[in-house]
Amino acid sequence: MTHTAPTTSARAVPKILVVGGGYAGFYTAWKLEKHLRKGEAEVTIVDPLPYMTYQPFLPEVAAGEIEARHVVVSLRRHLKKTRVVTAKVTGIDHANRTATITPPQGEPWQESYDQIVVTAGAVSRTFPIPGIAENAIGLKTIEEAVAVRDRILTNFDRAANLPAGPERDRLLTVVVVGGGFAGIEVFAETRALASSLLKDYPQLRFEDTHFHLIEAMGRIMPEVSLKTSEWVLKDLAKRGANVHLDTQVMGAVDGNVELSTGEVIPTDLIIWTAGVMANPTVVRGGDLPVEERGRIRTRADLRVGTPEEVVEGAWAAGDVSAVPDLTGKGVGGYCVPNAQHAVRQAKLLAKNLVAVLRDEVPREYIHHNLGAVAGLGLYNGVFQSRNIALKGFIAWCAHRGYHGLAMPSWERKWRVIGDWWHNFWLRRDNVSLQTVQNPRYVFEEFASRPRPAAPAEAPAAPAIDPKSVAAEKTGAAEPTAENKPAAKKAPAKKSAAAANAG
Tell me what percent of the chain is helix, strand and coil, each rounded to the nearest 5.
35, 20, 40
Confidence class of residue 461 from pLDDT cuts 50, 70 and 90? low
pLDDT at residue 175 greater than cutoff 60: yes
How far CA 225 is from CA of 128, 228, 334, 452, in Å, comes to 31, 5, 20, 70
Band (pLDDT 50/70/90 cuts) for residue 468 is low
* 159 band by pLDDT with thresholds 50, 70 and 90: very high
User: How far apart, in whole angstroms, are the C-alpha atoms of residue 111 and residue 92?
Assistant: 10
Q: Over the range 191-220, which residues count as b (16 or more CB within 10 Å of their CB) and which as e? A: bbbbbbbeeeeeebeeebbbbbbbbbeeeb
CA separation for the pair 44, 32 (Å, rounded): 11
> DSSP alpha helices (H): ranges in 198-250?
226-238
Q: Is 124 left (phi over 0), alpha (psi -120 to 50) or beta?
A: beta
Residue 471's pLDDT band, with cuts at 50, 70 and 90, is low
CA distance 266 to 254: 8
How far is 211 from 214, CA to CA, in rounded Å? 10
Note the pLDDT of residue 60.
Answer: 96
Percent residues over pLDDT 90 in the chain: 74
Of the candidates 354, 244, 348, 262, the residue with the CA atom closest to the CA atom of residue 298: 348
pLDDT for the residue numbered 493: 44
Say what the pLDDT of residue 137 is: 96
pLDDT over 80 (residue 431): yes
Phi, psi of 171 (to 5 degrees): -65, -30
Q: Write the pLDDT tens digit of every residue in 24-73.
A: 999 999 999 999 999 999 999 999 999 999 999 999 999 999 999 999 99
Distances (CA, A) of 376 to 3, 153, 162, 189, 245: 49, 19, 30, 6, 19
Confidence band for 463, pLDDT divided at 50, 70 and 90: low
pLDDT band at 10 (very low <50, low <70, confident <90, very high): very low
Tell me what the pLDDT averaged over the chain comes to.
89
Element (H, E) at 331: none
Mean pLDDT in residue range 95-111: 96
Q: Tell me which amino acid residue 491 is.
A: P
- Specify the range with the lowest mean pLDDT, choosing from 85-94, 116-125, 132-141, 451-460: 451-460
370, 406, 363: which is closest to 386 by C-alpha?
370
Lowest-confidence segment of 236-240, 257-261, 311-315 by average pLDDT: 236-240
What's the Cα-to-Cα distance from 316 to each of 114, 283, 303, 304, rounded to whole Å? 14, 11, 6, 6
pLDDT at 224 over 90: no
- Under 8 Å CB-to-CB from 349, ≥6 apart: which residues? 24, 28, 117, 302, 315, 317
CA nearest to 71, candidates 4, 129, 2, 143? 143
Q: How many Å apart are CA 118 and CA 322, to the nearest integer?
A: 12
Once rounded to an integer, what is the mean pLDDT over residues 332-354? 92
Q: Which of residues 332 and 234 earns the better pLDDT score?
A: 234
Read off the DSSP letter of residue 106: S
Residue 78 binned pLDDT confidence (cut-offs 50, 70, 90): very high
Q: Measuring CA to CA, which residue among 12, 35, 145, 143 is closest to residue 82? A: 35
What are phi and psi for residue 465, nearest 5 degrees? -85, 120
Q: How far is 84 from 81, CA to CA, in rounded Å?
A: 9
Helical packing angle, 181-197 and 226-238, nearest 10°: 20
Residue 169 has a pLDDT of: 97
Q: Is 50 helix (H, G, I), strand (E, B) or coil?
A: coil
pLDDT of 491 strictly over 60: no
pLDDT of 496 strictly over 60: no
Q: What is the pLDDT of residue 253?
A: 95
- Residue 408's nearest CA partner among 322, 347, 320 is 347
pLDDT tens digits, one per residue of 376-393: 999 999 999 888 899 999
Residues 286-304: what's their mean pLDDT?
A: 94
161 pLDDT above the threshold of 80: yes
**Residue 454: per-residue pLDDT:** 79
pLDDT at 473: 55
> Which pLDDT does position 501 carry in this prediction?
43
DSSP bridge pairs for 92 = 99, 286
How many C-beta neighbours within 10 Å does residue 299 have?
23
Mean pLDDT over 184-207 rounds to 95
